[in-house]
Amino acid sequence: MTLADFGPTLLDAEHLYLQEQGAKSSGYWDKQPDAEKPLFARFKSEVKRYYRAGQDLLCCYCSCDLQYAQNTYDLEHILDKADHPHHMFALNNLAAACKSCNTSKGKSTVVVEGVDTDTVPTQHEHYTIVHPHIDEWHDFFTFDEVGRVSSLNGNVKGQNTIRVCGISAVNATRLARSFAGNAGHAETQLRKFFEYKSIGKKEACLDFLRSLTPRLKVADEIVEHLTLEVERLKAEQDALKEQQQRARRVARVAQAQNADS
């Protein structure tokens, strides 16, 4: 992306001026002198328009629809502007994101420890999350059988992005629409289900979802899929527990043999 993409309304000198002001204060993005507000508003509007179109009208992280009205989505700083004010107006550090992902991501660190951020890092391996411009979304994410955004083949970058950007909350909202007339209650339980680590708590959420009526047939399919997910998780935990117990038994036998020798 270059300044040429914006046409004649944004000049090199104006962009440089904004970069200089941003580098002076991390608060410049939220509050500008009155005389500079028109320039800032023009920059922000044009970059949001450009990236929304370039991202096929989708959030760069969760792939939800970004509506036409610019106040319904955010201009996301990939390296957060609080810790990296010198990159506040860097075009390769900006993207269009839904408010949910941008709010959840907040000031999270998204670069690998030790990577130099004096300039904007430009390599795939520099980032711990899926980068909107360096990485391809479909190389890291997929929509599963019930329509959730999931990490493709369990890759770490995808998992990190789902966690950092709170995409499980977006998934909960998507699935909750299938519980006609009870979408609000379903959303609450689905959000808890995705957050809980405890199998017992997950099962309690599923019991609540089963009690909701009326619901669409697809809602039953969602509950069935999540039930199988819990069963797989329980099997994995049982296998791990058995492995740990076996290791302890072996260690005790070895200890006893050493004591007898």
Q: pLDDT tens digits, residue range 12-62?
A: 889 999 999 999 999 999 999 999 999 999 999 999 999 999 999 999 999
Residue 7 has pLDDT above 90, yes or no: no
Cβ atoms of residues 214 and 180 within 8 Å: yes
Quote the pTM value: 0.83
Amino acid at 125: E
- 22: phi then psi, degrees, rounded to nearest 5: -65, -40
Q: How far apart, in whole angstroms, are the C-alpha atoms of residue 207 and residue 201?
A: 10
Question: Average pLDDT over the chain, rounded to whole?
Answer: 92
Q: How far apart, in whole angstroms, are the C-alpha atoms of residue 111 and residue 120?
A: 10
Radius of gyration of the chain (CA): 24
Cα–Cα distances in Å, from 19 out to 63, 96, 152, 188?
A: 29, 19, 37, 42
The three-point CA angle 89-110-155 to 5° equals 130
- Residue 9 has a pLDDT of 63
Residue 180 pLDDT level (bands cut at 50, 70, 90) = confident
- Residue 106 has a pLDDT of 94
Q: How far apart, in whole angstroms, are the C-alpha atoms of residue 223 and residue 142?
A: 19
Residue 25: how many CB atoms within 10 A of its CB? 13
Q: How far apart, in whole angstroms, are the C-alpha atoms of residue 240 and residue 255?
A: 22
Residue 253 has pLDDT above 90, yes or no: no
The mean pLDDT of 146-150, rounded to a whole number, is 93
Residue 2 has pLDDT above 90, yes or no: no
The mean pLDDT of 149-173, rounded to a whole number, is 96
- Residue 261 has a pLDDT of 65
Q: How far apart, in whole angstroms, are the C-alpha atoms of residue 61 and residue 75?
A: 12
DSSP for 213-241, written as a single string: -S--HHHHHHHHHHHHHHHHHHHHHHHHH
Residue 5 pLDDT level (bands cut at 50, 70, 90) = low
Amino acid at 33: P
Domains of the chain by residue range: 178-260
- Residue 215 has a pLDDT of 79
Q: Give 207-251 pLDDT, tens digit per residue.
A: 999 999 877 889 999 999 999 999 999 999 989 989 999 989 888
Sign of CA dihedral 116, 117, 120, 122: positive
- Residue 251 has a pLDDT of 84
54-68, 88-102, 148-162, 215-229: the lowest-pLDDT one = 215-229
The mean pLDDT of 134-139, rounded to a whole number, is 96
Helices (H), the chain: 12-24, 37-54, 99-105, 156-164, 167-176, 183-195, 199-211, 217-260
- Residue 35 has a pLDDT of 96
Relative orientation angle of helices 183-195 and 167-176, to the nearest 10 degrees: 150
Q: Which residues contact 9 (CB under 8 A, 6 or more apart)?
A: 42, 46
Percent of the chain with pLDDT over 70: 95
- Residue 231 has a pLDDT of 95
